[in-house]
């Protein structure tokens, strides 16, 4: 976005300079040289500087205006995490044995142990 503003400012500056240079020969034509073409001749100093001044003023005013940049934030989407429940895999006990739940007398912890059939 910033590069577009810079390019726009450069373009506007070039346009302003071009407009001023296009009208400057007309504004300076009164010094020592009077243009005698066209239908009517006006001698002396005229109002040839008004058009470049107005154009330059308008372009300068537009360039000097602060630019409003609107930045849209992407919407925040909250999703509930999915719950995955896995059943513990029970291995088959070795041959001739079965699983039995026991309590360890020293620690009081429940354990599942393989005991003979």
103 CB-near residues (< 8 Å, 6+ apart): 109, 110, 111
pTM of whole model > 0.75?
no
As a whole number of angstroms, the distance between CA 6 and CA 12 comes to 10
> Could you read off the pLDDT of 45-97 as tens digits, one per residue?
566 788 888 899 999 898 888 888 888 999 999 999 898 888 877 788 888 99
Given a cut of 80, whether residue 110 has pLDDT beyond it is: yes
Higher pLDDT, 2 or 50: 50
The pLDDT assigned to 22 comes to: 63
């Amino acid at each position: 976005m910033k590069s577009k503003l810079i390019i726009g400012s450069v373009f506007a500056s070039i346009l302003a300079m071009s407009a001023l240079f296009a009208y400057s020969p007309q504004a300076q034509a009164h010094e020592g040289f009077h243009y005698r073409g066209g239908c009517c001749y006006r001698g002396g100093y005229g109002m040839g500087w008004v058009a470049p001044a107005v154009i330059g003023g308008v372009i300068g005013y537009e360039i000097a205006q602060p630019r409003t940049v609107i930045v849209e934030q992407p919407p925040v989407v909250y999703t509930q995490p999915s719950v995955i429940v896995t059943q513990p895999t029970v291995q088959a006990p070795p041959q001739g044995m079965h699983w039995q739940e026991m309590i360890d007398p020293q620690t009081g912890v429940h354990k599942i142990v393989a005991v003979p059939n």
